[in-house]
Structure formats: C-alpha cells, structure tokens
Structure 1
Amino acid sequence: MTGMTRLVPASLRGYRRAWLSRDVLAGVALSAVAIPEVMGYSSIAGMPIVTGLYTLILPTIAFALLGSSKLLVVGADSATAAILSAGLLELGIAGLVPGSPQWVALAGLTALLSGVILAAARLLRLGFLADFLSATVLIGFLTGVGIQVASAQIPDLLGIPRGRGNWFQQQWSWLTHLDEVSWYTIAYGAATIVIIVVFKRFLPRFPGSIVAVVALIAVSGATDASSHGVAVVGAVESGFPPIGLPSGLTPGDVSQVFSVAVSCFVLILAQSAATSHSFATRHGDHLDIDRDLVGLSVANLAAGLSGTFVVNGSPTKTEILDQQRGRTQVANLTMAFISLLVALVFTTSLADMPLAVLAGIVFLVGLDLVDVRGLRRIYARRRNEFVVAVVTAFAVFGIGVEQGVLLALALSLFEVIRREYRPKDFVVGVTEEGVPTYTLAEPGIESAPGLIVFRFNAELFYANASRFADEVKALVDEAPDPVRWLVLDAAGIADVDYSAGIRLHNLLDFLAARRVTFVLARPDAALVDTLKVYELWQRIPPENVFGNLIDAIRAYPAGGSPGAADEPPAG
C-alpha cells in the first residue's frame, strides 16, 4: 500500500467515478427518510429536535472517514436513544428533566464516555465481544425496545400528558385519561401513520415520512393548529452544531452516567458489528471490525463535542441506503451535507410541526423493531431460545432498557455456558460398511460387547468435568457386557483446564481399577500438548492412541490388547 493510498479512507478505497451520481442520489433519498426519523429519535432521547439533525453531521462524517464499512449509516438510533433516556431518568437527579440544559449536557457526556469506551475496546482488540450477544437475545432486546418506544408515543398521539413511573404505570395513566384526548391531535397522528403506511405499501421507494412532515406542517400552519389544542414543536434553534465540551458538568457526573455509557457501548458494538457484517457479506466487501470501532469511537466523541447524543450504526437506515443502490460512504457524506443545510436554513419551518407527527413517525419505527417474524422462526426451531428472547424483551420494557442490556449479556453468556456444560454426547458405533453411527449417550448403551466409544462435544473445563466423568462411569458401570475398552473420541475437545485435568487423572484411576483399557482417538496437537503438561499423556501407551476413529474401533480385538494405529497420532 503506497503512502498516498493510506491517506484515503478505508471505506472509499478503490472508488470509481461512475459510482458518484448513484451515491449522491442514494444520499438524497436516504436524507428524506433519515432526517424525520432522527428528529423523532431526539424526542425518544428527551433532546431538543435540532440535536437529532446534529447526529447526522459531524458523527456521520467522522465514521465515513475513519470506519471500514462502505455502507453502515451512523447517526441517532432508537435503541440507544431509549437507553440514554431511561438511564438518565434512573439517575434520580433532582430537577433533571428531558430537554433541560443539564439533561443535554449529561447526554453529551454520555456520548463522550461511549466514545472513550469504544476507543479502549479498540486498543484492547475487544471487537470479538460483539459476538457475545446472540441473535436470539438481540431479537428479544430490540423487540423490547420497539414495544417501549411505540407505547411511549401513545400519549403524544392522543394529546394527553405522559404518565410517570414504570412501563405498566405509564400505560395505566393514558388508559385512565382517555376522556381528555384531543381529537385534533389524534387526526394529525393518524394522518402521519396512514401516509407513511400507504407510501410504504404502494410507493416503497418514495419516503412517506418526508411527505407526512411537509404536508402536515403546511396544514398545521394554515389552520393554526396550536390554537386548537395541538402541541407543536415551536421555535427550533438553527445554525451550525455548537462545538465544545458540554457545559455545567462536574467530575461527579462522570461516575453517574458511566453505567449508561457502558450500556450504550454494548448495544453499539453488537448492533453496528452485526449490521456491518451483514452488508459486507452481502456485497463481498472486506470488513475490519477494529477499524469500525475507531470510526464509532470518533463519531461518538464528535457527537459529545457537537451538542448532541449517542450515535450508533443503524440497520434500518443502512438497509434503505442499500435499497437505493448506494455503494460507499459518499452517500452518507451527501446525507451529512443535506442535514447541515437543513440545520442552517430550514429549521424555522419546523416550528409548526405537531408533536403528534413526530410521535407517529417514531410509533411506526418502534413497531418495525418488534421482530414478530424473527420470534416466530425462533419459536419454530428452538423453543428454549424463544423463552430467552421473550424474557429479554419483557425485561427491556417491563423493567428498564439498561437492565435489559445487562440481562441480554448475562443470558447470552449463560447460553454459551449451558451448551458447554451439557453438550450432546454420543456412544459411537460402526456399521459393517465402516460408517460411524451416533447414539445419544445413556447408561446401558455400548458400541460393541465390551467396547464403549464415547464422544464428548465440548471443551473440558471446571464446570462440566464432573459431569463428563460421571457419564463415563455410568456407561461403564451399566453396560450390558463387562467393558474392556473405553475409547474417547477427542475430536470435539479442543482444550482441558486444570480442574478438568485433575478429573481426568481420577477417571483413569477408576478405569484402571475396573481393568478397562483407556484409548484416545483423534486428539489434535494442542490437546496433546495440554495433556502432556498435566502428565496425562504419559499415562496413555502410544499404541492406545489413534489418529482415526474407525481405526480405533477396528483395533478392538474383542478381548485382546489394542493394536497399533494405522495412522500416526496427531501431535
């Protein structure tokens, strides 16, 4: 790579002039959808409307220049906005209300801390942590966020005050105040939803959200909607995003919002990585998660320094960009330019926009996050994982978004440990044609009279070592015929920790006391090295080690001693 090539952003290397017009047009189309959306996301985050526009300016430019993904759209996101709002509310700071200068400052501080944590993750090469949120948990989490986001818009759609307390108390609040609804407000909210749904159904390539915003602002201004009890956005600050550290903060504020920043970091890492990987695979592009971490880190630092809130890779906006046949981050740079133009020139036209219009946009975004199709697929294929997804979703909207993030992490790790602790184990046999057969391991099963071939499909570690040893002992004790050979098929065992090594020593003592010959089949080189360190390898005669499972089974002489392996043992 030449010195000049290194100066070109990774996401733009190999750019072709023929792509320019397509990228610019895709960026214009993306802006028409993204700008109304991020204004809605700013309401989820409890931030001034204009700050939603700010998320599409400097943060988008930062990722376009420093990230590796050619398509990932970075900006305000409903899930991280919900985490931010819920997290700040749970701080319990006296006088802290959404939209206040203190709220805006703490939101900016959260973005800065998220950027710092993402940078630390890059330095420590922690991009692999994105793999620890399973697809099941992520579907459940985003479904929970969708339910929370959609239900939170109902009071604004009805024109009644929002309730306080947990999710159930908030729903009870609007249900018990239906006599106070504003029919004018309902009309604006319903019109927004109908316009967007109709365009999505019949003209999917045309952004119905921008049509709803422009048309209903015009109607609101012409009819003086605010005089009829319709809440409107009001004056919106215009100009370039303010540059500088959030004001009015103290050192103690860092520790207060740190947990909120960690929750945002977890979701940013998981959602952005999953989105980047999906679209890179679709187009055969190279993906560098660690470089994307740099881009996401600087994007969030830019957000914190430009008066706005946490940004994330958006799967919905990235899908829109892909549908518009955008090829590179030039499309996102186009969107950033248009967003800046709107912030500088057109914010005054937003004053007459009814809040119900924003609520209608966000309500549909929330419904889109409820992945009913994904939940159905999980239910049809893995009932236990469906329960995990539902529990995660319930935790998000019923307990709290931040708690939902922590539960999502815990459930993902628990699922890994559960599979390692209780893998599917088999007793292996062989047909007359030499084809291995696998039967779930249960006491009373044998591979042949006097022979048990046992396959354990997990690494051996402290949590499952006792279960492994107990299974082997039960197979030996309850076999129909006295066991003379116990063949361990080690193809599924990549490693053995110290605790498991002690258990293996005890198991070899047990087998020796029962006069059962221990035979090892298909150990890889790394496992052999580990067994040598634990002085287990030295207890297995060389003629009892086979590099091929069929050879190990065929070597069983039905009463004699083991024969030599036809292939040299691995390692």
Structure 2
Amino acid sequence: MAFEPFKGVRPLTRASALRDSLAGVMLASMNVPQLLGYARIAGMPAVTGLYAGFLPLVAFACFGASRHLVVAADSATATIFASRLSTMAAPGSAEYVALAGMTALLTALMLLIARVFRLGFLADFLSRTVLVGFLTGVGVQVGIAMLGDMLGLTVSSRRTVVQLGQIVKQLPHLHWPTFAIAAAVVALILVFKHYRPRWPVPLVTVVAGIAFSASLNFAAHGISIMGPVAGGLPPFSFPAVGWFQVMDLLQVAASCFVIIVAQSAATSRAFAQQYHERTDDDANLLGLAAANVAAGLSGAFVVNGSPTQTAMGDSAGARSQFAQLVFAGVVLLVLLFASRWLQYLPHCVLAAIVFTIAVGLVHIGQLIDIRKESRGEFRLAVTTAIAVVVIGVENGILIAIGLSLLRHVRHSYRPHTMVLVPNEQGRWLPETSQPGMQTAPGLIVYRFGADLFYANDHLFVDEVKLLVDSAPATVRCLVVDATAITDLDYSAGRSVNDLCEELEHRGIKVVFGRVNRYLRADMDRHGITPVVGAGNIYQTLHEALAAARPDLNIHAEN
C-alpha cells in the first residue's frame, strides 16, 4: 500500500477544520498538565513532557492513518522504561535523557521493522484481559510512586514495595501543608472528572498552584517546587549512548514495542469502529515509528497511542488528526512563552495530577466484569497486575504475555470433549465426556473441541480408548464429530492412524463427520484417509450417522 501523507487529516473542510481546531485547544488545555505528569513518571525533566506532545504528534499526523489516535507521552510506556533506566543513570540527568532518547529510537526501529513485514497482527497477542491487568498494575505502581511528593516525604527507591515501606516508616513526619494541597487537588480533579469531565480542571489547578506558589513563596514554607524549566524549541541531536548501553536497552524497547502495538491498535480499532471507518494497522505502525523517531531526536522519550488521551480528544469533539496538530501548536506556544512560569509549580500539585491519572488506570469495574464472566481470565488479570507492581513493569508485561499465551495453549492442550447422549425424550445432546457414556448401543459419537497437534493427540487417543473400553455395550462404531478440528499435524496424524488401525483390528468401524476441506487435506496428506476409508469421511454429521445405521440398526438423530 502506497504511503499517503496526512491520511488521518484528509478530507478537511472549513467547517471540520474549525471544529477540530476548537477540539485541539480543548484537548491541549486538558493534556498539558498531564504531559508534565508523564515526564514525572518517566523520571525526565518536566519540559521533556511538552517535547513529547509537540513533534511526535506532528509526525504521527503526517505518517499515520488513524483519524482519532492521540500519540504522545503515556503512563504505560513511561513506567516501563523508567523502571530500567533508573538503574543505569540518575533520573533527570543528561545521561538519563540520552538513554531515554535512544530507547525511543530503538522502539521506532522495531515499529518500522513491524511495518515492513506487516506485523500489525502482533497486537492480537496481548489480550484485553492482560491489558486491563497491566494498566491496573501500572496505576497502583504510579500511585504509590507519587505518594512521597504528595506527603512531603523522601522516597529513594524505584521499587514499589520498598517505596511503600519507606512511606509507612516516615508517616509521622509528613508535611501537612504539602499533603493538604495535594489532597485538595486530587479531590477537585476527581469530583469534576465525574460531574464535568470536559472541564480543564488539571490546567486550572496548575495555573492556581503556580500563582499561589509565586505570590506566597511556597518554597520558603517547605513546599517543594520544580525550579527553573528550560523553554524554547526542543534541542535536536542524536543520543550519545555507548554500544553496550544500546544492548541493555533492547529489552526495554521491546517491552515498549509490545505495549505500543497492542494498546495503539486496540484504541485505533475501537474508535474507527465507533465511526464506521476503516483501520490500517500497518500505516499506523509507520506513524508510530515516525513519532518515536521525532521523540528520540528532540530530547523527549517513548510515545504511544494513548487510550485516555484519545478518549479525551473524542469527548472534546476531535474527528481528525488536525485536532492533534492544533494540540501540538498550543504546546509550542507554551514552550516559547510560558515555560518560565513552570518553575513555581509545586511538586505536590504535579504529583496529585499524576495520582489522578493513576487512579484512572485502575479498572476495578472491568476486573469485576471479567471475574463474573471468567474466573480464569480474572486470575490472569490479577496476576498481571501483581507482577507489574512486585516485579516491575518491564518484566511484568513479558510475564503477562507469556501467561496469556500459556492460557491459550492450555485451552488447546486440554480442550472440551463431549459425547452425544440421549436425553429423557431420546434426543441426542452433547455432554462432557465421561467413562461409561455411549450414544446408542454399540455407538459412540465423540466430539473433540480443538485442532489436533502434538501436545493434545495423546488426550484424543486415550479418551477414545477409555470410552470404548468402558462402554456398557460392545462398541461397533465410533463417529468422530470433527466440527472443531481444522488442522492436524504430523504427530497427531501418526497417533490417529495408529488409533484407527487398532480399532479396526478390534472390529470397530471409525467414521468422521463434519470434516472440512482443510482437515480433509491434512487427512489425505498424513495417510489417514486410506486407513479409515474415503467412504467413511463425510462433510456433515448426518451423513456420518447414516453410514453407521446399517451396522447398528439405530434411528435416532442429532
């Protein structure tokens, strides 16, 4: 597919430009404080949060395809690389900033490779359940990390459990004025978020915090403030990072890559579906790669397609990337003309804003819904959240993906198996397979609930033998309902062949029903068809049962 610049902007009319311009200003008013908060989460200088909301947005608008996705700083990716980079350099230092820039460039390279090889489908391997658990864990981790600044306490560790212990030990020494300001900000934001979600309350609290801090000299009263903040255009340079450090950053970049692909794809698909638009995951990968190149070269850090900021943009009325371009323009104005005032911003105000972001990431309602529908997936979500909090975001997400894939493999390894048995009215209905079950005297209709492959072929063979051996009447015919079997590998082919030959020697006829053309091709290729007989393989279950009736003299139907 040819590259189409500004695909997420076009078509643009005068009316839509005006609408998106107003939405972009509203989005900027709500998000500028959050950009500062994301920089805080990332351990970066505050101004780099604004950098992350400038050129990366322009780059995605140029190269991406989604009309709605807001690509900027995000708490999930910020937490991932901060957890690793903080062990390599002091947060906020020039070396740390360089490492963050290189992480963004490595992430961009992985996204570009994914685009070249059309790997947008990788987004499907991180389930919504895992994302809910991951974001919940990130929310808990970020919330705890902000408590030190909100309480006026010193927290030295980057590990969540240790941080919590340090805070508990220092509680008798909390700074009450700092705590009062933070509590007021949290209460205001959460109350207005519930009743007036479109009001830019975080921006109001930042402006008020700066005004009160400058006029009342908060710093003289023991309330920590940000201090001088560099303004102007972002610096352009290639991060000065050594080769061995680059190798250390590969795992961090890979973790960011996975989250970006999954979270951005899920968000862009959701909003495209809402507005009946087509999605192009591969074009979005190119846009995300360009955005992270812009971030890495402009002194910022990894950017992501943010679900929360995209939802905020949608609620503000944004319907194309033109709104994001206006958002970037507002950020540029802040960088050029308002950055000097940020030095008076109290850390407790910024920490309180970040804390409310963290609260929004803890999806208790979704966890409850997951538990109601699937206890197994609920355990997966909770395990993911605990892994993120205890082990760290970087390794937690990899564990989460592994658990998600293992759960899928387990379903294939131990699929549901059933036998058709008659009910009180004599109608055959599927029931969970148990020894001693039979469909009719001399007949067993067995249904296997997954593809047959090397890990589950023994289950198929063992269960069929057990059903045959424990049947109350001598089995003369086994009908395999192959509804769920679409694929059969070499190992399974050998096992099925051996089973059919053994049953034939015992005088038991084997018939396959509901065999689709893909399974039939596998049966032909692996030599099962000659063993069973081409005349005993049918496309429907009714035909298979009809083939069994002459030998059994049965008349019931499924």
TM-score bracket for the superposition, by shorter chain length: over 0.9
| Correspondence for 1:380 | 372
Q: d(CA) in 2 for partners of 1:221 and 1:157?
A: 19
User: Which digits, 9 at most, give the CA deviation of each residue in 1:283-341, with x for residues without a partner?
Assistant: 11100111111111111111101101000010001111111221111111110111111
Check if 1:356 corresponds to 2:348.
Answer: yes
Mark the runs of 5 or more structure 2 residues left unpaired by the alignment.
none
Check if 1:109 corresponds to 2:102.
Answer: yes
Any conservation in 2 of the 1:436–1:550 contact (CA below 8 Å)? Answer: no
Shift in Å, 1:18: 2.4
Mark the runs of 5 or more structure 1 residues left unpaired by the alignment.
564-571
Any conservation in 1 of the 2:483–2:515 contact (CA below 8 Å)? Answer: yes
Q: d(CA) in 1 for partners of 2:5 and 2:99?
A: 35
Equivalenced residues, count? 555
Pairing partner for 2:142 from 136, 140, 149: 149
Question: Cα 1:482–1:15, aligned 2, differ >3 Å: closer, same or farther?
Answer: farther
| Correspondence for 1:222 | 215
Q: Aligned AA for 1:198? A: V
Q: d(CA) in 2 for partners of 1:70 and 1:508?
A: 56
Shift in Å, 1:138: 1.2
| Correspondence for 1:569 | none
User: In angstroms, what is the RMSD of aligned CA positions?
Assistant: 2.0
Check if 1:406 corresponds to 2:398.
Answer: yes
Check if 1:14 corresponds to 2:11.
Answer: yes
Q: State the identity as a percent.
A: 45
| Correspondence for 2:429 | 437
User: Which digits, 9 at most, give the CA deviation of each residue in 1:471-519, with x for residues without a partner?
Assistant: 1111111111111111111121111111111111111122112211110
Shift in Å, 1:438: 1.3
Shift in Å, 1:431: 8.1
Pairing partner for 1:317 from 295, 309, 316: 309
Check if 1:494 corresponds to 2:481.
Answer: no
Check if 1:61 corresponds to 2:54.
Answer: no
Q: Aligned AA for 2:358? A: G
| Correspondence for 1:455 | 447
Q: d(CA) in 2 for partners of 1:532 and 1:244?
A: 61
Q: d(CA) in 2 for partners of 1:23 and 1:320?
A: 13
| Correspondence for 1:126 | 119
Q: d(CA) in 2 for partners of 1:150 and 1:415?
A: 30
Q: d(CA) in 2 for partners of 1:475 and 1:7?
A: 60
| Correspondence for 1:45 | 42
| Correspondence for 2:512 | 520
Check if 1:80 corresponds to 2:72.
Answer: no
Q: Aligned AA for 1:123? A: V
Question: Cα 1:174–1:294, aligned 2, differ >3 Å: closer, same or farther?
Answer: same
Q: d(CA) in 1 for partners of 2:474 and 2:121?
A: 48
Shift in Å, 1:201: 3.0
Q: d(CA) in 2 for partners of 1:166 and 1:266?
A: 22
Shift in Å, 1:194: 2.2
Any conservation in 2 of the 1:97–1:103 contact (CA below 8 Å)? Answer: yes
Question: Cα 1:295–1:547, aligned 2, differ >3 Å: closer, same or farther?
Answer: same
Q: d(CA) in 1 for partners of 2:413 and 2:105?
A: 39
SS at match of 1:556: helix
Any conservation in 1 of the 2:156–2:163 contact (CA below 8 Å)? Answer: yes
Pairing partner for 2:162 from 164, 169, 189: 169
| Correspondence for 2:294 | 302
Shift in Å, 1:560: 5.4
Q: d(CA) in 2 for partners of 1:304 and 1:243?
A: 9
Pairing partner for 1:557 from 534, 549, 554: 549
Check if 1:389 corresponds to 2:404.
Answer: no
Question: Cα 1:165–1:331, aligned 2, differ >3 Å: closer, same or farther?
Answer: closer
Shift in Å, 1:550: 2.0
Ranges of 4+ aligned residues in structure 1 off by more than 4 Å: 429-436, 560-563
Any conservation in 1 of the 2:428–2:439 contact (CA below 8 Å)? Answer: no
Check if 1:475 corresponds to 2:467.
Answer: yes
Task: Report the TM-score, using the length of structure 2 for normalisation.
Answer: 0.96
Task: Report the TM-score, using the length of structure 1 for normalisation.
Answer: 0.94
Q: How does 1:226-305 map to 2 (within 5 A)?
A: 226-247=219-240, 249-305=241-297
Q: d(CA) in 2 for partners of 1:495 and 1:169?
A: 50
SS at match of 1:239: coil
